[in-house]
Chain A
Amino acid sequence: MRKINEIREAFLGINQRNVGFVFPSNNRKDYKLADDKILAKKRMEAYGIPCAKTYAIVDKVGSIPEAWNSLQKYEALAIKPSNGSGGEGILILKKSQEGIWFNGEDMISTDEVVLHLASIIMGFFSGGATDRALVEECIVPHDCFHSIYQRGVADIRVILYQEKIALAMLRLPTEQSDGKANLHQGGIGIGIDIESGKMTHGFDGKNYHEAHPDSKAQISGTNIPFWNEILSLSLLTASKFPLKYLGVDIVIDKYKGPLIMEVNVRPGLGIQMVNKKGLKPILNEIDNLQK
């Protein structure tokens, strides 16, 4: 009984997240500012929030060839469905020295790229509704996390409420997740102590770890690089979006430092497990500060 009360007081469940925080804090009509990657990008660009550079927006099948031609001047690209979810439909392209486009190890033809863009526009990745394709600069991951794990792209999720930072975690790929940092695809979540910017421990969905499961590099106590920039970037983003409960995803670019990749209206609750810390007292405290 005591344990049940303890859980109830500490942890935020889906019901309360929606009824108590997402619904009252965020206007339904503003959801699309986060859910639609192109709208989110435009807002960030308008307010000078650092993010990946937009190369092109393709909204008609007819304009694909022209857009593809104009993209030939770049060396690397990320093509994303504006309304995709869970990383689906994202295509990363890199040009070889001979000027041939590659997706990972595989060569990719112009036809294949055009088909992918057309699929995005016809709603293949957005549940049937027509969509737009966003083509942007390809992030070069900063080598600051290479001492822990070298493959894939690490990202940092920060949850903000009333423009205050509530919880944060770092997500790192593993061998099992095949370069992806998503938790339910096998990535590892690492809790962050917000005060110090130090990593606490890793969580793989079942167990807690002091070290990365593949590289065995020490996690606990390691500093998150650019921590102060990450904090101020999160706060800046929260202040420029009309959403009072949101999650922001940040990656650290080799040349530009921390960049906002995505804004989430309904950030997942697994971050509580990763941090071994419930959101409820934190959010209540923020509410009390507001009064």
Chain B
Amino acid sequence: MLMVTLACLSIGYKLNNGWFQKGAQEAEKNFQVTYSFDYKSPSNDAFQIKAFLPTSNSRQKISNHNNDFQQGQYTRNNLEENTLGVWSGNSFQAQSKIAYTFDVSGSTTVYEIDDSLMYTDILDPFSSHVLPSEYIESNTEPIYDVAEEILNNHSGANNMLQAIYDFVDKIPSTSQKELTTALGALKQNQASCNGKSRLFVAICRNLNIPARVCGGLILNEETKRTSHLWAEVLILNTWVPFDALNGHFARIPGNYLEVYKGDEFFVKRSANIEFDYNYIIAEQHPNLGIFESFNMFHIAKATGLSEQMLSLMILLPFGALLVAIFRNVVGMKTFGVFLPILIAISFTTTGLVFGMISFIAVLVIISLMHYPMLKWGVLHVPKLVVMLSGVVFLMIVLLFTGMRLDISDASNLTFFPIVILTISAEKYARIVVEEGVGQSTRILFQTMLVTLFCYVIVQSQMIFLLIMNFPESLLLIAVAALTLGKWIGLRIAEYRRFGWILS
């Protein structure tokens, strides 16, 4: 009773306060960003440092600007599409520093492109955003060839953008820092973010689809010099983001900070100074009460543990309860209590069909090893060691075969819980010997059925959100299990077993 009350109170409190995250990616992210500029002038001339400044919009909120710059003048200039900060002054021999700090809170935004939208709906030959520019050579022959190929094969706007995106996506990525033009990316057949974004924009522009590059920072807890460039396409008066380097199609993650539009340089400065810069990014954790912070998303963020791992930890008792219900209420037989749930978890990485086939194969092959050892009279624990070696060896053989045949799924087999698999194989083998092939096959079938149910639970996004937001639901699981432990009803299988006597 106490446990149920406690769990319900805690869940109720959270719900009442609207504290329900929809998962890490949709969650708002908060960062403090500092532009840190160091400069030193050997001569006595005037100098300027210019950098674009982010502004608030529908998906990012910029607040608490703070400009730490004592030795000169600072102006904030609103340009047509961007905001530019200009720090100017006369030179000083001593090394000086500029620190421009602000807070960002961003959210992931996903755009829907209606499938009924045609190419003709999004093209606009008169837009200024279809003209070629210095680094986006959209009017050149090679770009034209690519664009024509895409135009000949697609007519829907969504398909077309997907085709452009896929074309850019399959160009090998590099991490080179220097500027790559659209044409350069195409010719070298490799590019980093700036080359890929320019190529994406160039293909769009060649097709008279208004597009532009967009610059900013990918926010993570770090200090770095690298900024990021992605593309935007104007679709029905909305600029829709695409980042073929990081796999975002019509989507922008919460930790993307938009700073400027157009093919510009993030930072510019007078040539006569020694200059160095850094972006210092710190993630800010909101101050939460004890109830709100008892949330696995929050715990994952604060400890750096993976959400996946934490969720599987909680899913283990969840799945075990499911297995307990199948055993004690339905009356199904399974190899071990934890095997179905652990196998279900490993299926999430191997894939269901491939996982099932390999699982049954491993189980049957290993249990075949059991028979000669039984005949020969090998003691229990050493026998388990032999079978364990067999399981591991079989895994390695499958891995090796997968490697030779280039089957990528095979490497996921190592996620099988090897020790438990071995013990189960031994049990399976013993049931084959003691109760015959029929009975053991029935139990294997029931184990797979329960595993399938566990798999559905493990895969369910709803249950993932539920347990991540309300880890106190474990108390409810314990109470449910206790109730089950004192439940004296007949199992469904027993109704069948005893039922036919009466008929």
Interchain CA distance A14-B380 in the complex, whole Å:
29
Any A CB within 8 A of the CB of B289: no
Q: Are B498 and A15 in contact (CB under 8 A)?
A: no
How many residues of A sit at the interface, in one of the four size bands? 20 to 34
Q: Are B502 and A3 in contact (CB under 8 A)?
A: yes
Q: Which of A102-110, A149-157, A272-280 contacts B (4 or more CB under 8 A)?
A: A272-280
Any A CB within 8 A of the CB of B126: no
Any A CB within 8 A of the CB of B178: no
Any B CB within 8 A of the CB of A174: no
Q: Are B498 and A11 in contact (CB under 8 A)?
A: yes
Closest to B495 in A: A7
Q: Which of B97-105, B270-278, B408-416, B482-490 contacts A (4 or more CB under 8 A)?
A: B482-490
Q: Give min CB distance, A256 to chain B, whole Å.
A: 31
Pick from B380, B498, B503: contact of A123, CB under 8 Å:
B380
Pick from B380, B381, B486, B490: contact of A19, CB under 8 Å:
B486
Could you mark each residue 126-157 of chain A with 1 if its beta carbon is under 8 Å from any beta carbon of chain B, else 0?
A: 01100000000000000000000000000000
Instruction: List the A side residues contacting B377 at CB < 8 Å.
Output: 115, 119, 124
Q: Are B379 and A123 in contact (CB under 8 A)?
A: yes
Could you mark each residue 1-14 of chain A with 1 if its beta carbon is under 8 Å from any beta carbon of chain B, else 0?
A: 00110111011011
Q: Are B490 and A8 in contact (CB under 8 A)?
A: yes
Any A CB within 8 A of the CB of B494: yes
Interchain CA distance A184-B435 in the complex, whole Å:
7
Pick from B379, B488, B498: contact of A273, CB under 8 Å:
B498
Instruction: List the B side residues contacting A272 at CB < 8 Å.
Output: 498
Q: Are A124 and B491 in contact (CB under 8 A)?
A: no
Any A CB within 8 A of the CB of B309: no
Contact of A15 with B380 at beta-carbon distance under 8 Å, contacts A273-B497, A276-B501 already known: no
Q: Are B494 and A11 in contact (CB under 8 A)?
A: yes
Find residues 7-48 in chain A having any chain B CB closer than 8 Å to their own CB.
Answer: 7-8, 10-11, 13-16, 19-20
Q: Give min CB distance, B354 to chain A, whole Å.
A: 34
Q: Are A15 and B487 in contact (CB under 8 A)?
A: yes
Instruction: List the A side residues contacting B489 at CB < 8 Å.
Output: 8, 13, 15-16
Instruction: List the B side residues contacting A123 at CB < 8 Å.
Output: 379-381
Pick from B435, B486, B491, B499: contact of A14, CB under 8 Å:
B491
Q: Give min CB distance, B379 to chain A, whole Å.
A: 5
Q: Are B379 and A119 in contact (CB under 8 A)?
A: yes
Pick from B381, B497, B499: contact of A128, CB under 8 Å:
B381
Instruction: List the B side residues contacting A122 at CB < 8 Å.
Output: 379
Q: Give min CB distance, A116 to chain B, whole Å.
A: 8
Any B CB within 8 A of the CB of A86: yes
Number of interface residues of B (CB under 8 A): 23
Find residues 463-499 in chain B having any chain A CB closer than 8 Å to their own CB.
Answer: 485-491, 494-495, 497-499
Contact of A15 with B381 at beta-carbon distance under 8 Å, contacts A273-B497, A276-B501 already known: no
Instruction: List the B side residues contacting A6 at CB < 8 Å.
Output: 502
Pick from A16, A20, A128, A278: contact of B498, CB under 8 Å:
A278
Interchain CA distance A28-B498 in the complex, whole Å:
29
Any A CB within 8 A of the CB of B328: yes
Instruction: List the A side residues contacting B494 at CB < 8 Å.
Output: 11, 13-14, 269
Q: Give min CB distance, B436 to chain A, whole Å.
A: 9
Interchain CA distance A272-B497 in the complex, whole Å:
10
Instruction: List the A side residues contacting B331 at CB < 8 Å.
Output: 14
Interchain CA distance A16-B491 in the complex, whole Å:
10
Q: Give min CB distance, B428 to chain A, whole Å.
A: 16
Most chain A CB within a 10 A radius of its CB, from B488, B499, B502? B488
Pick from B434, B486, B488, B499: contact of A7, CB under 8 Å:
B499
Find residues 35-81 in chain A having any chain B CB closer than 8 Å to their own CB.
Answer: none
Instruction: List the A side residues contacting B434 at CB < 8 Å.
Output: 86
Closest to B501 in A: A276
Q: Are A7 and B328 in contact (CB under 8 A)?
A: no
Instruction: List the B side residues contacting A115 at CB < 8 Å.
Output: 377
Closest to B489 in A: A15
Contact of A16 with B488 at beta-carbon distance under 8 Å, contacts A6-B502, A10-B498, A278-B498 already known: yes
Instruction: List the A side residues contacting B488 at CB < 8 Å.
Output: 13, 15-16, 19-20
Q: Are B498 and A7 in contact (CB under 8 A)?
A: yes
Could you mark each residue 88-128 of chain A with 1 if its beta carbon is under 8 Å from any beta carbon of chain B, else 0?
A: 00000000000000000000000000010001001110011
Q: Give min CB distance, A279 to chain B, whole Å.
A: 10
Closest to A124 in B: B379
Interchain CA distance A14-B497 in the complex, whole Å:
12
Instruction: List the B side residues contacting A20 at CB < 8 Å.
Output: 488
Closest to B490 in A: A13
Q: Give min CB distance, A105 to chain B, whole Å.
A: 18
Find residues 236-278 in chain B having any chain A CB closer than 8 Å to their own CB.
Answer: none
Closest to B485 in A: A19
Instruction: List the B side residues contacting A276 at CB < 8 Å.
Output: 501
Q: Give min CB distance, A117 to chain B, whole Å.
A: 12
Interchain CA distance A23-B435 in the complex, whole Å:
28
Q: Are A15 and B499 in contact (CB under 8 A)?
A: no
Interchain CA distance A8-B497 in the complex, whole Å:
12
Pick from A3, A13, A184: contact of B491, CB under 8 Å:
A13
Q: Give min CB distance, A263 to chain B, whole Å.
A: 22
Interchain CA distance A74-B264 in the complex, whole Å:
103
Q: Give min CB distance, B321 to chain A, whole Å.
A: 16
Instruction: List the A side residues contacting B491 at CB < 8 Å.
Output: 13-15
Q: Are A15 and B328 in contact (CB under 8 A)?
A: yes
Q: Are A128 and B380 in contact (CB under 8 A)?
A: yes
Q: Give min CB distance, A176 to chain B, whole Å.
A: 11
Q: Give min CB distance, A230 to chain B, whole Å.
A: 25
Q: Give min CB distance, A73 to chain B, whole Å.
A: 28
Q: Are A3 and B499 in contact (CB under 8 A)?
A: yes
Q: Give min CB distance, A23 to chain B, whole Å.
A: 10
Closest to A13 in B: B490
Instruction: List the A side residues contacting B487 at CB < 8 Å.
Output: 15, 19
Q: Are A7 and B490 in contact (CB under 8 A)?
A: yes
A-B contact pairs, 16 of them (CB 8 A): A3-B499, A3-B502, A3-B503, A4-B495, A11-B494, A13-B488, A15-B489, A15-B491, A16-B489, A20-B488, A86-B434, A115-B377, A123-B380, A123-B381, A124-B377, A272-B498
- Additional 19 contacts, C-beta under 8 A, given A7-B502, A123-B379: A7-B490, A8-B490, A10-B502, A13-B489, A13-B491, A15-B490, A16-B489, A16-B490, A19-B485, A19-B487, A19-B488, A115-B377, A123-B380, A123-B381, A124-B380, A127-B380, A128-B381, A269-B494, A272-B498
4 nearest CB pairs, A to B: A16-B488, A13-B490, A11-B498, A128-B380
